[in-house]
Structure 1
Amino acid sequence: MNFASIRIITQDVDRLVRFYEQVTGVTAERPAPVFAEFVLPSCALAIAHVQTAQLFGADSVEAASNRTVIIEFLVEDVEAEYARLKPLVENWVQAPTTMPWGNRSLLFRDPDGNLLNLFTPVTEEAIQRFNRRSL
């Protein structure tokens, strides 16, 4: 099994696409006005309008109601990302902090309230855990 993607359902695809283009530095592929996809080396981040949720069943999802999933990006330098994103992000949850498991991490919310974590392994143990992953 290979993890392929995560999809965010939203009322405003264009707003989230603009936000994630700035966060990731990747231009979204837009095969339809109601759908966008960021193809990254490790997987894809998809953004879809609530209209598309009907294809999965009428009550399968609810836009902008997530409070349990954290979307995580492995980055080369958390401090540099924090400085770069300060003007863009409105809802900071945590400034760069070294976590007990050895990652330097910062957390913020996207315009729909989804939680994002940008992190860099900084301890020897954390670096070893991520050696097989690439940036």
Structure 2
Amino acid sequence: MRVGEVGLLTNDVIRLADFYKALLDIENGSNDKVHQTLIAEETMLTIYNDGSAKNNNNQNICLAFTVEDMEKEYQKLLELGAEIIEKPQMRPWGACNMSFYDPDRNIIYFRSFT
């Protein structure tokens, strides 16, 4: 069994999808207000409005992305106006990690390995 899709439920698909498109340097050619697939590799990343109201108090899930250049990604986040939770920091296990909120306040981690 494999994870087939990670979906972020939101009240504003365009806003959240545009943030991830800029963050991930991708373009999906869609401005759909209900559903957008951003990554369609083995595990898909989708942004979806299922019609129910969201409170944006997401506290039980996070996303983690492995990046090549932590400093470059950190600067991009600052330019996007993302709220940084923790600046890039080396961990005892040899990874450099940082965390921030996306526009819906989902917690996102970036990590890189030396």
The bucket for the TM-score relative to the shorter chain is 0.7 to 0.9
- Gap regions ≥5 residues in structure 2: none
Say yes or no: does 1:94 pair with 2:86. yes
Q: Which has the higher helix share?
A: 1
Deviation at 1:41, TM superposition (A): 4.1
Deviation at 1:42, TM superposition (A): 4.8
Match of 1:68 among 23, 48, 60: 60
Deviation at 1:106, TM superposition (A): 1.4
Query: Residue 63 and residue 43 in structure 1: after superposition, are their counterparts in 2 closer, same or farther (change >3 A)?
Result: farther
- Gap regions ≥5 residues in structure 1: 54-60, 123-135
Which structure exhibits the higher relative contact order, with contacts defined as CA atoms closer than 8 Å and separated by 6 or more residues? 2
Aligned pairs, number:
114
Q: Which entry has the higher C-alpha Rg, 1 or 2?
A: 1
Residues 62 and 106 of structure 2 are in contact (CA less than 8 Å); yes or no, is this contact kept in structure 1?
yes
TM-score (norm 2): 0.86
The percent identity for this pair of structures is 26
- State the one-letter code of the partner of 1:94: E
The 4+ residue runs of structure 1 with deviation greater than 6 A are none
